[in-house]
Amino acid sequence: MASLIKHGHLNTVAVVNPINRCPTVVVMAAEVDRFDAEFVSLFAIARQRGLHHMVVKKALDAAGIEAALDPTVIGATSYRRSDISKARMSTAQKGTPDDGLCSFQSRPET
């Protein structure tokens, strides 16, 4: 979270600590909710799909969906939820050559 704050992806506010009366920098719950509504981590997608994170990453890369935040700077791979929702995920059927793999494909424009 520190790198998200440092690089301006999470806004902070200074509040007075009620115990020691010292100013403390915090991220408000509404700000965390805003961030969570806009971004999703690679690991969260993989966990939700029940797949290994590298399988999901390979499928996202193949579909041309790029990480929204630089993983080398942030320390985690995150995608915009809107980018993920524009793609549909299909899992290979058992017995096919791609058994166990998944792919994200661009949805046709309507």
CA quadruple 31, 48, 88, 60: dihedral sign:
positive
Whether 69 shows a pLDDT value over 70: the answer reads: yes
Stretch 27-43: mean pLDDT, rounded?
A: 95
Q: What is the pLDDT of residue 104?
A: 55
Q: Is the pTM of this model over 0.85?
A: no
Which H or E element spans position 41?
A: strand 39-41
Q: How far is CA 74 from the centre of its chain?
A: 11
Torsion angles phi and psi, residue 11, rounded to 5:
-85, 145
So what's the pLDDT on residue 85? 80
pLDDT reported for residue 78? 95
Mean pLDDT within 74-99: 67
Domain count for the chain, please give it: 1
What's the domain range around 60? Answer: 2-106
% of the chain residues with pLDDT over 70:
78
